[in-house]
Amino acid sequence: MRMSELSTVTGVPVPTLKYYLREGLLHAGHRQAPNQAQYDDSHVARVRLLRVLREVGGVPVARLRELVAAVDGVTTENIDAMRAAAYALSPVPPRAGPDRQRAREIATAVIEAAGWARVSDDAPDRENLAAAIEVIVGFGTHEDRLSIIDEYARVADAVARFEVADLDAAAPRDALLAQLVVGQVVFGEMLASLRRLAEEHHSAVRFETE
Amino acid sequence: MRMSELSTVTGVPVPTLKYYLREGLLHAGHRQAPNQAQYDDSHVARVRLLRVLREVGGVPVARLRELVAAVDGVTTENIDAMRAAAYALSPVPPRAGPDRQRAREIATAVIEAAGWARVSDDAPDRENLAAAIEVIVGFGTHEDRLSIIDEYARVADAVARFEVADLDAAAPRDALLAQLVVGQVVFGEMLASLRRLAEEHHSAVRFETE
DNA sequence: TCCTTGCAGATAGTGCTACTATCTATTACA
DNA sequence: TGTAATAGATAGTAGCACTATCTGCAAGGA
């Protein structure tokens, strides 16, 4: 198919497709002449993945680039590509405050308590977790808030267990990673929405009846 | 205190404070001369709230304006201010695809099944939830993925229940909202990090041992 | 064959957001 | 007294994600 057809099929304007090509987010079409190229289903799939990540996941284009590099890497094992994709979805942790070191220790303890032995030492979410814990520790006077973290970890474990089990191991890597990434982003957004809805309900119950 | 002191106390540059004044996010100081005004603790609290919302919550300034209107409204109840804060934290839903209507019906059913009767009809997260469901339905062939949504809702319910119980109802409104926002955002980030860590562990277990 | 349409590649421009800088006239305070 | 700070107004900036325009060339129907 030609670019205009790719555009109509995906609903993405031609200039935007060109932009994605320039940015290396979309692989070039099969060149047939200096100014002619053919696109196929792999392009359609890639564009759809990019749009889901941008629109649903709010992933910035710079992140998409790293992520796409992981998806396209031919030399790495599946697990390495998946790890790279997962890392690309981690936000940049906020700058450390005075309690960060202590928070890091708590984070390590939480990960150990959850039994996540296969998490690598340089996983960026170790730092993100520490950053969140630092804020929680620094904000309230309640030390007992920390007891809830292991509870959260159990919840996360159950969710992740389901999602990983749901992956289709036989799928080609593109599809496998797309499934992982879409699962992470979309299910993550869904959980966030559900959480806000639940909070609206419970705060209404609490503050309207007092 | 004068503006420069407000600036050093909050860590926000003077031009930014002036910007917030212009935008109506920060109430004017107590005027003592045509070019002199005094600021007090209420200004410090407000600036802190604004920064928490912007930096931690990523709330756009346009949203802050709505939120501040709710906070400052003298006639509104706490619950209205809290609802406004919660709405400000909801992302703008992606544009609807062909399955959105069906997704909306599923979303409504999920909310009902969870027992969240106090969620208002115009809660933006109804649409966000529908958007996420639409992607899930549209992406995979598995219809049985939908069964997990109620599971997620139960998790969200437990989390929200804890967080709302932890709020200090006696605190001044700016502080109460800051607490709500920090709770929502930070606990949300923490849960997301834990989720990615758990996914790394479980996918390592699954894909390295196969 | 002509001629309209589409294409690739390059460069430049747009719209939005959240500040940031500069200017003027005035005031505080060491 | 004079330096620094202030309010208010206006203009400028940086980053992001596109979007528009231009050039030379190719494709495919009339």
> pLDDT, tens digit, for every residue of A11-64?
999 999 999 999 999 999 999 888 899 999 999 989 988 998 888 778 899 989
Mean of the per-residue pLDDT values of chain B: 87
Least-confidence region, from A123-137, B32-46, B133-147: B133-147
Nearest to B135 among A56, A91, A205 (CB): A56
- How many structural domains is chain A composed of? 1
pLDDT of residue A144: 64
Q: Which nucleotides of strand C lie within 7 A of protein CB?
A: 6-11, 17-22, 25-28
Between A199 and A176, the higher pLDDT residue? A199
Q: Determine phi and psi for B34, rounding to 5 degrees.
A: -55, -25
Between A109 and B73, the higher pLDDT residue? A109
CA-to-C1' span, A135 to C22 (A): 37
pLDDT of residue B181: 79
The pLDDT of residue B142 is above 60:
no
Name the minimum distance, in Å, from the CA of B17 to any CA of chain A: 22
pLDDT of residue B109: 96
pLDDT of residue B75: 64
pLDDT of residue A24: 93
pLDDT of residue B147: 76
Note whether residue A159 is domain-resident: no
| 8 Å CB contact of B159 and A152 | yes
Instruction: Collect all residues of chain B within an 8 Å Cβ-Cβ radius of residue A70.
Output: none
Query: Which residue range forms the structural domain that includes residue A98?
Result: 92-146
| 8 Å CB contact of A128 and B158 | no
Between B2 and B52, the higher pLDDT residue? B2
Note whether residue B2 is domain-resident: no
Q: What is the mean pLDDT of residues B11-38?
A: 94
Instruction: Collect all residues of chain A within an 8 Å Cβ-Cβ radius of residue B209.
Output: none
Question: For B55-68, what is each residue's pLDDT tens digit?
Answer: 878 889 999 998 88
pLDDT of residue A162: 82
pLDDT of residue B7: 96
Note whether residue A164 is domain-resident: no
pLDDT of residue B42: 92
Least-confidence region, from A37-41, B17-21, B142-146: B142-146
Note whether residue A142 is domain-resident: yes
pLDDT of residue A186: 81
Buried b (16+ CB within 10 A) or exposed e, A73-98: eeeeeebebbbbbbbbbbeebbeeee
Taking CA–CA distances from A110, the nearest residue in chain B reads B194
Three-class SS of chain B: CCHHHHHHHHCCCHHHHHHHHHHCCCCCCEEEECCEEECCHHHHHHHHHHHHHHHHCCCCHHHHHHHHHHHHCCCCCHHHHHHHHHHHCCCCCCCCCCCHHHHHHHHHHHHHHHCCCCCCCCCHHHHHHHHHHHHHHHHCCCCHHHHHHHHHHHHHHHHHHHHHHCCCCCCCHHHHHHHHHHHHHHHHHHHHHHHHHHHHHHHHHHHHCC
Q: What is the mean pLDDT of residues B157-180?
A: 83
Note whether residue A132 is domain-resident: yes
User: Tokens 């996360």 — which residue?
Assistant: A156
Name the minimum distance, in Å, from the CA of B42 to any CA of chain A: 18
pLDDT of residue B143: 58
CA-to-C1' span, A135 to C3 (A): 68
CA-to-C1' span, B32 to C28 (A): 12
Instruction: Collect all residues of chain B within an 8 Å Cβ-Cβ radius of residue A191.
Output: 152, 155-156, 191, 195
Mean of the per-residue pLDDT values of chain A: 85
Note whether residue B134 is domain-resident: yes
Note whether residue A55 is domain-resident: no
Q: Which nucleotides of strand D lie within 7 A of protein CB?
A: 5-10, 16-21, 24-27
Name the minimum distance, in Å, from the CA of B73 to any CA of chain A: 17
Q: Kindly indicate the confidence band of residue B194, based on its pLDDT and cuts at 50, 70 and 90.
A: very high
Note whether residue A153 is domain-resident: no
Between A62 and A172, the higher pLDDT residue? A62
Q: What is the mean pLDDT of residues B108-134?
A: 93
| 8 Å CB contact of B152 and A159 | yes
Question: For A72-105, what is each residue's pLDDT tens digit?
Answer: 876 667 777 778 777 777 887 777 778 889 999 9
The protein residues having a beta carbon less than 7 Å from any atom of strand C are A 2-5, 14, 18, 21-22, 28-29, 31, 34-37; B 13, 15-16, 18-19, 32-36, 54, 60-62
pLDDT of residue B79: 83
pLDDT of residue A149: 86
The pLDDT of residue B133 is above 70:
yes
The pLDDT of residue A2 is above 70:
yes
| 8 Å CB contact of A149 and B190 | yes
| 8 Å CB contact of B78 and A136 | no
Least-confidence region, from A5-19, B15-29, B75-89, B138-152: B138-152
Look at residue A37 and give its three-state secondary structure: strand
Between B12 and B96, the higher pLDDT residue? B12
Mutate to test the interface with B, among A79, A121, A201 (most CBs of B within 10 A): A201
CA-to-C1' span, A15 to C12 (A): 14
Q: What is the mean pLDDT of residues B144-172?
A: 83
